[in-house]
């Protein structure tokens, strides 16, 4: 039965509501083997465009959606992902120090989201 559910179609209405409310770029991702995979993207109405494409894989530590997911994983799973995947720099704003990342992780968990 689960195989017959089109997750993107089921989520689209909610993604559109979020896009209409915020006018921001909206991404839908899934967690897969310590990375995020983009499965849907709505552009929003802002001039700033995100260059992530549907199907693209990214490390979790350097994306807002990845940080939001990491914030709700058990601490041992979070630390294991950071150990296995490392924390390579992707932009000049990427946090590459584990202690600094864990401080940000606490704030994401308190707020319930991450925004750049």
pLDDT tens profile 6-48: 888 889 999 999 999 988 888 899 999 999 999 988 887 766 6
Q: Which of 17-21, 76-80, 111-115 has the lowest mean pLDDT?
A: 111-115
DSSP-derived 3-state class of residue 26: strand
pLDDT on residue 116 = 59
Check pLDDT > 60 for residue 1.
Answer: no
Report yes or no on 17 lying in a domain. yes
Q: What percent of the chain has pLDDT over 70?
A: 85
Domain count, the chain: 1
Report yes or no on 7 lying in a domain. yes
Report yes or no on 22 lying in a domain. yes
CB 40 within 8 A of CB 54: yes
> In CATH, what number is assigned to the domain containing residue 97?
3.30.450.40
CB 44 within 8 A of CB 21: no
Report yes or no on 13 lying in a domain. yes
Report yes or no on 6 lying in a domain. yes
Higher pLDDT, 94 or 51: 94
Report yes or no on 116 lying in a domain. no
Check pLDDT > 50 for residue 89.
Answer: yes
Predicted TM-score (pTM) of the model is 0.76
pLDDT on residue 2 = 46
The single-letter DSSP state of residue 55 is: T
Report yes or no on 80 lying in a domain. yes
Domain range for 25: 2-111
CB 81 within 8 A of CB 60: yes
Report yes or no on 107 lying in a domain. yes
Q: What is the mean pLDDT of the chain?
A: 84
């Amino acid at each position: 039965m689960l195989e017959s559910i089109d997750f993107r179609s089921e989520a689209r209405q909610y993604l559109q509501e979020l896009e209409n409310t915020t006018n921001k770029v909206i991404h839908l991702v899934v967690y897969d083997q310590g990375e995020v995979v983009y499965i849907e993207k709505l552009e929003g109405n802002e001039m700033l465009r995100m260059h992530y494409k549907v199907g693209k894989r990214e490390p979790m530590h350097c994306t807002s959606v990845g940080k939001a997911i990491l914030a709700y994983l058990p601490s041992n799973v979070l630390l294991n992902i950071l150990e296995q995947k490392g924390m390579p720099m992707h932009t000049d704003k990427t946090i590459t120090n584990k202690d600094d990342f864990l401080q940000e992780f606490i704030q994401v968990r308190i707020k319930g989201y991450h925004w750049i």
